[in-house]
Structure 1
Amino acid sequence: MAMTLRLEAEDEKTLAELAEMDGVSKQEATRRAIREAASRRHHQAGVAEASAWARDRYAEVLERLGK
């Protein structure tokens, strides 16, 4: 799917620098940034879910340790 991405001048400069550092096109740098951001968010959600599960599962133990 084709898409037009409009960037502020500073964002365009940052994207160009990122692409240059990675030795890829700006298009590839954009794709990588999108995938990396999505991966980070999925990971953070997984960590939050595991943390909530552990707090629930071990609530009694944590309560006793806090005393």
Structure 2
Amino acid sequence: MALTLRTDSELEKALDALVEAEGVSRQEVIRRAVIDRAERGTRRHDLDVVLDAELPRYAEALERLGQ
């Protein structure tokens, strides 16, 4: 699948720096960034689910610790 990405000078500079540092193509830098962002979003969602379920259980103790 093809994709056109419009860039500006800031993005061009950042891409060039990452290409140089990582020794991979621009396509690979962008691919890694998108996959990393998607994985972080999934982990964040999973953490939110656990916290929503568990925090009420410890709310009183956390309140006392905060005082």
TM-score computed with the length of structure 2 as normaliser: 0.82
Aligned equivalents of 1:6 and 1:62: distance in 2?
47
Number of residues of Structure 1 aligned to a counterpart in Structure 2: 63
Deviant stretches of 4+, over 3 Å: none
Scaled by the length of structure 1, the TM-score of the pair is 0.82
What are the ranges of 5 or more consecutive residues in structure 1 without an aligned counterpart? none
Alignment of 1:31-46 (within 5 A): 31-46=31-46
Map 1:9-48 to 2 at 5 A.
9-48=9-48
Give me the identity figure in percent.
Answer: 35
Q: Please list every run of 5 or more consecutive structure 2 residues that lacks an aligned counterpart in the other structure.
A: none
Q: Give RMSD over aligned pairs.
A: 1.4
